[in-house]
């Protein structure tokens, strides 16, 4: 197992050959998603086209495969696992010869299917470290949502992708993502452009720096009163008039997810509050990323990044290095 660079709390080992295990056997996102595989995407799903010229879009499996290629080029001496894939929003159809059949009479070869939204992660288990007693492994991934593209155009129009590189908490499969490792709206027109942008993101990312910043979250805690105030103001933020929101950093979690954070504060096996009611920022951050697993695919990564920066803002306020309306 290889740990990050030469940080004081890490160590290194010799690189090993790639392996083909799955990246995770537990869902990194839940909501209304189902699991899939690259083979199923290739063999069973049709590829959406641009309506005006019938040219194909960049498919889900193309996106995953170029991410794998870029990852192998940048981290070629590490173990790289097979992708874990989640799909949502099926778009069903049928071949012309079956247009008059009742739905319950369709044969398998007469049905067509693709999924409008897809998310995937790929783990690099030989790059890892421990933060707050939790093993984290380097993880990359992305989201493709065709509802963000203008498929009524011609080939050559921008297609939209979300790509990240960060860490996955092995305790709970929560993703740890921040702005420096995230492209929230990558617009490209070809597979080649897509691969180039993904590789540049991987090359510029500093795993050691993100680990250092996350380690700081373990060093600060909220009292029970402070935690209650933060949660209360998170609920208030959703209902503030727009002119009051303008000067407040956004909170992208909804009421149900904030409610899940409250429940897990008392019940979560790994990240519940302490006996005196206090909670470390690291634990609060993981309660938030855990609650975000109920997000829809196309909002999942944006909310994950927001959860980290929200927690960072609270840390700055505790250190008297900044102001937070949530902890005023």
| Pair of tokens at residue 139 | 């993880």
151 and 31 within one domain: yes
Predicted confidence (pLDDT) at residue 52 exceeds the cutoff of 50: yes
242 and 116 within one domain: no
| β-pair partners for 120 | 85, 142
Q: Which of 169, 14, 18, 140 is nearest to 79 (CA)?
A: 18
Q: In percent, how much of the chain has pLDDT > 90?
A: 73
Q: Which of 309, 38, 76 is nearest to 202 (CA)?
A: 76
Predicted confidence (pLDDT) at residue 257 exceeds the cutoff of 50: yes
Q: How confident is the model at residue 23, as a pLDDT?
A: 61
Q: How confident is the model at residue 7, as a pLDDT?
A: 39
Residue 177 near residue 303 (C-beta atoms within 8 A): no
Confidence of residue 25 (pLDDT cuts 50, 70, 90): low
Instruction: Tell the burial category of 27 from Cβ atoms under 10 Å away from its Cβ (0-12, 13-18, 19+).
Output: middle
Confidence of residue 213 (pLDDT cuts 50, 70, 90): very high
Q: What is the pLDDT of residues 162-198, one digit of tens each?
A: 999 999 999 888 999 999 999 999 999 999 999 999 9
Q: How confident is the model at residue 110, as a pLDDT?
A: 86
Q: State the helix-helix crossing angle for 255-267 and 281-291, rounded to 10 degrees.
A: 130
Confidence of residue 9 (pLDDT cuts 50, 70, 90): very low
Decide: helix, strand or coil at residue 99: coil
Out of 206, 236, 265, pick the residue that ends a domain: 206
User: How far is CA 191 from its chain centroid?
Assistant: 21
Residue 324 near residue 313 (C-beta atoms within 8 A): yes
pLDDT, mean over the chain = 90
265 and 197 within one domain: no
243 and 134 within one domain: no
175 and 58 within one domain: yes
Q: What angle do CA 210, 213, 215 make, to 5 degrees?
A: 110
Q: Is residue 305 part of a domain?
A: yes
Predicted confidence (pLDDT) at residue 3 exceeds the cutoff of 70: no
Q: How confident is the model at residue 22, as a pLDDT?
A: 64
What mean pLDDT is predicted for residues 300-313? 96
Confidence of residue 24 (pLDDT cuts 50, 70, 90): low
Q: How confident is the model at residue 5, as a pLDDT?
A: 44
276 and 188 within one domain: no
Predicted confidence (pLDDT) at residue 129 exceeds the cutoff of 70: yes
160 and 120 within one domain: yes
Q: How confident is the model at residue 172, as a pLDDT?
A: 85
Out of 149, 171, 206, pick the residue that ends a domain: 206
Predicted confidence (pLDDT) at residue 16 exceeds the cutoff of 60: no
51 versus 72: the higher-pLDDT residue is: 72
| Pair of tokens at residue 37 | 């595989």
Lowest average pLDDT, out of 21-25, 230-234, 250-254, goes to 21-25
259 and 144 within one domain: no
Q: How confident is the model at residue 17, as a pLDDT?
A: 37
Pairwise CA distance, residues 64 & 154, whole Å: 23
Q: Is residue 211 part of a domain?
A: no
Q: How confident is the model at residue 37, as a pLDDT?
A: 94
109 versus 9: the higher-pLDDT residue is: 109
Predicted confidence (pLDDT) at residue 152 exceeds the cutoff of 90: no
Lowest average pLDDT, out of 103-107, 189-193, 266-270, goes to 103-107
Decide: helix, strand or coil at residue 318: helix
Q: Is residue 214 part of a domain?
A: no
Out of 206, 236, 268, pick the residue that ends a domain: 206
Q: Is residue 212 part of a domain?
A: no
Predicted confidence (pLDDT) at residue 120 exceeds the cutoff of 70: yes
The residue segments making up the domain with residue 158 are 2-206
* Total domains present in the chain: 2
246 and 156 within one domain: no
Q: How confident is the model at residue 224, as a pLDDT?
A: 95
Q: What is the pLDDT of residues 231-247, one digit of tens each?
A: 999 999 989 998 899 88
What mean pLDDT is predicted for residues 255-269? 95
Query: pTM of this prediction?
Result: 0.88
């Amino acid at each position: 197992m290889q740990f990050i660079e030469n940080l004081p709390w890490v160590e290194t080992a010799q690189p090993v050959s790639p392996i083909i295990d799955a990246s995770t056997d537990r869902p990194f996102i839940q909501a209304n998603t189902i699991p899939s595989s690259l083979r199923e995407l290739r063999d069973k799903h049709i590829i959406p086209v641009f309506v005006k010229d019938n040219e194909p879009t960049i498919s889900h499996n193309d996106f995953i495969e170029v991410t794998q290629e870029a990852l192998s080029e940048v981290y070629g001496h590490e173990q790289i696992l097979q992708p874990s894939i989640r799909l949502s929003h099926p778009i069903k159809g049928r071949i012309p010869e079956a247009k008059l059949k009742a739905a319950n009479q369709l044969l398998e070869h007469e049905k067509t299917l693709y999924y409008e939204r897809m998310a995937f992660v790929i783990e690099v288990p030989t790059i890892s470290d421990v933060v707050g007693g939790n093993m984290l492994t380097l993880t990359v991934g992305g989201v493709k949502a065709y509802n963000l593209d203008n498929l009524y155009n011609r080939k050559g129009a921008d297609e939209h992708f979300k790509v990240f590189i960060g860490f996955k908490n092995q305790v709970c499969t929560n993703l740890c993502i921040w702005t420096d490792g995230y492209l929230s709206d990558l617009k490209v027109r070809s597979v080649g452009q897509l691969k180039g942008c993904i590789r540049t993101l991987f090359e510029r990312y500093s795993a050691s720096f993100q680990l250092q910043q996350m380690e700081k979250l373990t060093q600060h805690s909220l009292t029970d009163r402070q935690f209650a105030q933060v949660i209360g103001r998170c609920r208030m933020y959703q209902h503030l008039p727009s002119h009051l929101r303008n000067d407040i950093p956004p909170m992208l979690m909804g009421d149900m997810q904030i409610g899940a954070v409250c429940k897990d504060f008392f019940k979560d096996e790994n990240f519940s509050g302490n006996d005196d009611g206090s909670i470390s920022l690291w634990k609060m951050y993981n309660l938030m990323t855990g609650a975000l697993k109920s997000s829809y695919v196309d909002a999942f990564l944006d909310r994950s990044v927001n959860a980290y920066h929200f927690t960072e803002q609270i840390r700055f306020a505790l250190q008297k290095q900044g102001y937070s309306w949530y902890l005023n």
